[in-house]
């Protein structure tokens, strides 16, 4: 049917108030599984140090009755040092914005500071997964924390050409394979799990990209059985893929911040984040008709025993 003649409809009207929802939709991921799992400790200097030690290999131990006793040679502990890294972001908002009636937030500055703090947390998660050695820094060079790639050295499966393990103390990065990448497989994963077990490690968590998670979901056979946590009555429960191997039980946790070529097998209690300055936002000095707030965090990453962990590296990513 046609509209009646001379109908004054909404298309003709002037002054209709806008209908703008007070809800701001943002589905950008903000999960940081590795950073959240790491135990947080206190750092008191930009140079953070700790010590590690190990037992000698088992040996034949039998002695003649009444013989002389000779002391064994002892080795000193290893002293490892890392540097803290400064994460910093700032937000500047015109003072006019604080007087406006904005939809979805009471104050523009508060909304933007909360948003940038979440973004900074993602930056930290990314840095923890990087194949990056610690950097001492200077008046012209920023300090950097050692990423996971510079720690895992003993229990690895990597490319056979350029691929090489780091020292394992955060002082140097691993060498990435550039010639031939290898598909992530159950055989490679099981081999690293066995190596970790032989070293005395008991890993709980495997961090990997969505692409490698798809590969892991195809694992099958008697050596790797996948179990699921059942939902309770009247409750919605997230399912976790738990893999049972002869060398232990691990949970696969996909991360958006990990390099897709890397798969880390972690013993959670061996990783710590020494925090020199917890996340804090402060207002900077005013320089005009605006307000600037700065969000800073300063921390590092240490692995108390790298041989309790492992990794499958140089994986194909497509």
Query: Domains of the chain: which residue ranges?
Result: 33-50+78-308
Residue, of 158 and 57, whose pLDDT is higher = 158
Element (H, E) at 90: strand 85-94
Q: Which pLDDT tens digit goes with each residue over 181-210?
A: 999 999 999 999 999 999 999 999 999 999
Q: Which pLDDT tens digit goes with each residue over 216-249?
A: 988 875 445 555 555 555 544 444 478 888 888 9
Element (H, E) at 44: none
* Cα gap 33→24, rounded to integer Å: 25
Q: Which pLDDT tens digit goes with each residue over 79-124?
A: 999 999 999 999 998 888 777 777 767 688 888 899 999 999 999 9
Residue, of 193 and 24, whose pLDDT is higher = 193
User: How many other C-beta atoms are found inside a 10 Å radius of the C-beta of residue 307?
Assistant: 21
Q: By the 8 A CB rule, do 166 and 133 touch?
A: yes
* Cα gap 53→291, rounded to integer Å: 51
């Amino acid at each position: 049917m046609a509209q009646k003649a001379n109908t004054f409809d909404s298309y003709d009207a002037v002054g209709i108030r806008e209908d703008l929802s007070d809800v701001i939709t943002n589905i950008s991921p903000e999960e940081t599984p590795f950073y959240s799992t790491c135990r947080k400790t206190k750092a008191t200097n930009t140079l953070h140090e700790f010590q590690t030690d190990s037992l000698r290999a088992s040996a034949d131990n039998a002695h003649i009755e009444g013989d002389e006793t000779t002391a064994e040679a002892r080795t000193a502990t290893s002293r490892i040092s890392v540097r803290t890294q400064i994460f910093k972001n700032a937000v500047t908002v015109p003072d006019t914005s604080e007087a406006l009636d904005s939809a979805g937030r009471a104050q523009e500055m508060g909304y933007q500071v909360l948003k940038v703090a979440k973004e900074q947390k993602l930056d930290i998660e990314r840095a923890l997964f990087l194949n990056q050695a610690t950097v001492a820094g200077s008046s012209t060079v920023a300090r950097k924390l050692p990423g996971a790639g510079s720690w895992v050295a003993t229990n690895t499966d990597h490319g056979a050409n350029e691929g090489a393990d780091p020292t394992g103390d955060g002082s140097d990065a691993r060498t990435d394979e550039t010639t031939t990448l290898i598909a992530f497989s159950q055989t490679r994963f099981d081999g690293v799990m066995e190596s970790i077990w032989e070293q005395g490690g008991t890993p709980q968590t495997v961090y990997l990209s969505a692409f490698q998670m798809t590969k892991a979901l195809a694992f099958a056979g008697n050596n790797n059985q996948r179990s699921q946590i059942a939902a309770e009555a009247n409750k919605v429960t997230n399912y976790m893929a738990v893999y049972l191997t002869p060398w232990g039980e691990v949970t696969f946790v996909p991360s958006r911040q990990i390099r897709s070529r890397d798969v880390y097998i972690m013993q959670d209690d061996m990783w710590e984040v020494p925090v020199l300055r917890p996340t804090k936002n402060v207002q900077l000095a005013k320089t005009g008709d605006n307000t600037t707030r700065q969000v800073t965090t300063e921390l590092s990453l240490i692995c108390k025993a790298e041989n309790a962990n492992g990794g499958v590296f140089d994986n194909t990513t497509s």
